[in-house]
Amino acid sequence: MTGIGAAILVGVAGLAAGTMNTVVGSGTLITFPVLLSLGVPPVTANVSNTIGLVPGSFSGAYGYRRELAGQRDRLVRLGLASLSGGVVGALLLLVLPAGVFRAVVPVLIVLALVLVVAQPRLSRRFVGTAADNPSHGRHPVLLWSLVLLTGVYGGYFGAAQGVLLVAALGALLDTNMQRVNGVKNVLAGLVNGVAGVLFSILAHPNWVYVGIIAVTSALGGQLGAVVGRRLSPLVLRGVIVVVGVAALVKFLFF
């Protein structure tokens, strides 16, 4: 494929990934395979993809600023977990063999899908425990730990990070799915951002593709905010499940 053709393909993938990440997550499942198909080595493709999607994550978070109102304390508290996890995950990518963490990815996705499907029932089950500290949610230590672990996963690879975050936040926060989605966008952006900084210093990204994905994913973030806000909680949950299943199939069979 010519240079112009490759740039167009990466740009379209970045736009789609930015949109998908804002709505639910798993945009990496679009951009990462495209980079591989263009002959980019796997680790280089992974770090380039992570850095490139950072503007899209924050663009999506800005698009959800209305849903983020009143959640500052929650974002600060959980943001520390995401930043910590992102640092650990990024360092793991650079020092561990590629197959080590990949082996647990299908398990994480299955658990996430179970949580997404069970979220309404879990919310009813724990509804009485949130009133004491609504900004921290139900079982705040468990929630913080899950966000931390998701950050580790997101810093290492990132595909379906949004699914995992929505599953944990939706089950343990006493708020609606749109506000959960706004928090998810901020936390995923923090993970990608801190991992991107480390990759920029310690790895060797393809900066041409990084730039293309950065611009188009930022545009996709705004598009995703419009699309995601118009979805009902039931439809949003359905989209999450579909994307999660697609991610699982991708890891298991491709």
pLDDT of residue 128: 47
Rounded to an integer, the average pLDDT of 207-224 is 96
Please, which pLDDT band fits residue 125 given cuts at 50, 70 and 90?
Answer: low
Please, which pLDDT band fits residue 144 given cuts at 50, 70 and 90?
Answer: very high
Radius of gyration of the chain (CA): 17
Q: State the residue range of the domain holding 10.
A: 3-253
How many structural domains does the chain have? 1
pLDDT of residue 136: 54
Please, which pLDDT band fits residue 124 given cuts at 50, 70 and 90?
Answer: low
Contact indicator for 178, 229 with CB cutoff of 8 Å = yes
- What amino acid is encoded at 88 in this protein? V
CB atoms within 10 A of CB 33: 16
C-alpha 121/C-alpha 144 separation (Å) is 21
Which tops the pLDDT comparison, 140 or 122? 140
- What amino acid is encoded at 37 in this protein? S
Q: What is the pTM of this model?
A: 0.84
Of 3-17, 91-105, 217-231, the range with the lowest mean pLDDT is: 91-105
First to last CA, the chain: 22
C-alpha 82/C-alpha 186 separation (Å) is 9
Q: Which residues have a Cβ under 8 Å from the Cβ of 42 and sit 6 or more positions away?
A: 36, 98
Contact indicator for 122, 171 with CB cutoff of 8 Å = yes
C-alpha closest to that of 238 among 228, 223, 226? 228
* Residue 100 CA from chain centroid, whole number: 20
- Please give the share of the chain, as a percent, with pLDDT higher than 90: 49
Please, which pLDDT band fits residue 126 given cuts at 50, 70 and 90?
Answer: low
Contact indicator for 53, 216 with CB cutoff of 8 Å = no
- Both tokens of residue 234? 């039931």
> Can you tell me whether residue 64 is helix, strand or coil?
coil
- Both tokens of residue 122? 């879990």
pLDDT of residue 129: 47
How big is the CA angle at 225 (ends 183 and 49), to the nearest 5 degrees? 80
